[in-house]
């Protein structure tokens, strides 16, 4: 993963979804900005906002989740990047809230934002940081479809836990030479 040049957060840009489980990718990018470039302002583009930090670009989609590929295609073109130089940060309803996985060249598992990316960039060769979006409160209960919780607000208890989860992810990424 040492050749990652772009970390791209996806979610829904509307204020009403800001703290929903579906926006964990965007929330992680806000955390990274605060951690790595607090004094800098996001630069604006039509479909995304971005920051350039030496050899790394942080970017947040400004399109709805299911159209994320439009924004990533624009970023790849603007910065002349290849798909395998990208880490897409997404929510994952199959993983519990306090966990995450980093994968490469995997299926979308039905995630519409990832399907849009695959379609628009014509490749599955991307790194993905899959942040758990299945609420802890659902552990041990019958399986619920993502539609029943993914657009709901993250609980206050879980919002308080986000910095610790994000710090753990950041530490893992640093150890994988992303920084």
Where do the domains of the chain lie, and which CATH numbers do they carry? 6-175 (3.40.50.1470)
pLDDT-derived band at 179 (thresholds 50, 70, 90) equals very low
Q: Please tell me which residue in 22, 47, 111, 143 is annotated as part of the active site.
A: 22
Reported as a single tens digit per residue, the pLDDT across 24-75 is 999 999 999 999 998 999 999 999 999 999 899 999 999 999 999 999 999 9
Whether 111 is a known active-site residue: answer: no
143: left (phi over 0), alpha (psi -120 to 50) or beta: beta
* Tokens describing residue 122: 């014509």
- Give pLDDT, residue 177: 60
- Give pLDDT, residue 1: 62
- Average pLDDT, whole number, for the chain? 95
- Give pLDDT, residue 178: 57
CB atoms within 10 A of CB 149: 19
Q: Which residue has the tokens 């920051």?
A: 51
Per-residue pLDDT at 123 exceeds 80: yes
Q: Is the dihedral of CA 155, 157, 163, 164 positive or negative?
A: negative
């Amino acid at each position: 993963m040492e050749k990652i040049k772009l970390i791209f957060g996806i979610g829904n840009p509307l204020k009403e979804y800001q703290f929903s489980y579906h926006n964990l990718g965007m929330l992680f990018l806000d955390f990274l900005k605060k951690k790595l470039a607090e004094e800098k302002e996001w630069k604006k583009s039509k479909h995304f906002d971005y920051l350039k930090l030496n050899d790394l670009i942080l970017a947040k989609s400004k399109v709805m989740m299911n159209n994320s590929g439009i924004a990533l295609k624009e970023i790849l073109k603007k910065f002349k990047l290849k798909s395998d130089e990208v880490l897409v940060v997404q929510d994952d309803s199959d993983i519990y809230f306090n966990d995450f996985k980093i994968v490469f060249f995997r299926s979308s598992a039905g995630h519409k934002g990832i399907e849009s990316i695959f379609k628009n960039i014509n490749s599955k060769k991307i790194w993905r940081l899959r942040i758990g979006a299945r609420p802890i409160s659902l552990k041990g209960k019958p399986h619920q479809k993502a539609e029943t919780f993914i657009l709901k607000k993250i609980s206050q208890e879980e919002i308080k836990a986000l910095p610790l989860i994000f710090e753990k992810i950041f530490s893992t990424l640093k150890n994988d030479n992303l920084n």
